[in-house]
Amino acid sequence: MLPKRGFFRGWKVYKLARVLILNVTNKLRKAFLGKEKAKPDVEEFLTTDRRKDGDNKQEKFSSQVNGRIPENISSQQSRRSRPEGYPEKGKSADADVSKISELAGEYRSHLRYEEAEKLYKKALKLSPANVSLQLDLAYMYTDMYKFDEAEKIFLKVLRKEPDNLEATAGLVSLYVGDKPEHDKAKEIVKHWQEKFPDKYDTRILVAQYYQGLGRHDKAKDILMEAIKTDPRRFRAYYDLALINFHSGEKDKTLPLLKKALKRLDDNFSGEEKESLRSDCYFLLGRLYNTFNEYEKAEDVLKKIKEECRNSSDYYFILGEAYLGQEKVREAREHFLTAKRINPYKADYYFALKRCYDKQNKGKTYDFLKDNLVSNYRKIAKIVLANDIRLVCVQYPMCSVEPLKNILSGIEGITFVDNEEKFKRVVDRTVYGDYFLDRCGRVFGHATSKGNRLLAESIAETILKEPEGLER
């Protein structure tokens, strides 16, 4: 599903900020790994053949199976099976390529991009025409914000295979998102509509294009057309369920998910079926959590624990289900696992705070909070030391004071207050005009209108400063 993008993502300063965050994250990760052993799953992988009889599963981050467009073309965390042992001497080149690419996937799932990139390139030296490997590398480049490199690979694949759906979807994703060139995206989609006007996959691609532009109602209409074209297929039901879930129409999500699961039983088998079932159960678990049906969430999420063991979000969602049942110890363990897999996501720390509040372990939370504050301050000092103007933007509907407190004593920071501006417009209109959901309790992922208001707020604040747009 194409993620919602704001129109200001094409600004050079935005791209610079994302690159800066990646560089800081890499430095913090290296420091973190220097203090602890490398991730056990990866290190065991280097020395042990963990294959079970008949089990040689590799779930790609984005896969094209029977014309299937990638479930998620954004920089989401990959859920992969544990790879097998490192390539042995005497094995065939194909076996070596398979094992090297699986190891690359394991590093990638732990956000260790540099190691993963080296391994993907090594595999491509052994198998330079391997399109699947090329696309894996391209999608990882989008994770790393190397959008030009990703674009080159997608175009290379399409020169060789003009009708490759996965490469097409990846390119459209770039052109409506991180490397915004909407005219190019429109031309690609138009080409598919002219070449395959009645094809089910064309409608799925067009729906993703409109979602990338934030036109969710249009995307939903096209997905309904896809269902009419072939009601037996899985994809349109699942994508429609995702849109409804993120739009806050959760009562419509459950029936669609049930229909999607039935199509799995009717049309798929083996690894492909298990991979898609895992996606459905993951969304179903999130849905049950929102309905406060925590036992149901726990039941469905436990069914996919093996497939999702490298996903920090999986442990986070399951932890929420435990916490909803007052199983605080189990919740805390799962939040800690999520934090171990991805120590850079603030949601996990706040989830731990709720556990510590219930367990009266305030001192432990204070330590975690101090860590978080310290990281924010380090990032601010790195930015300012490189003579880069630092603009700190508070979430919509939230007071800017906590952010100012975190960065107090550091001179030269511009703060953007989005509390009153958003509260005023939401009071006058409808919450759903500006937000797709309530992921932040009082705010959520922004619609096109919400992103525009946010961009205007940032621009107004910058222009009011004495320096204006200088620096």
Domains of the chain, start order: 1-205 (1.25.40.10), 389-464 (no CATH)
d(C-alpha 161, C-alpha 470), whole Å: 46
Beta pairing partners, 390: 413
| Spans of the chain, pLDDT less than 70 | 1-95, 361-370, 437, 439-441, 467-471
d(C-alpha 104, C-alpha 99), whole Å: 9
State if pTM tops 0.85.
no
- H or E segment at 34? helix 12-35
How much is the pLDDT for 62?
28
How much is the pLDDT for 33?
45
How much is the pLDDT for 78?
36
How much is the pLDDT for 194?
92
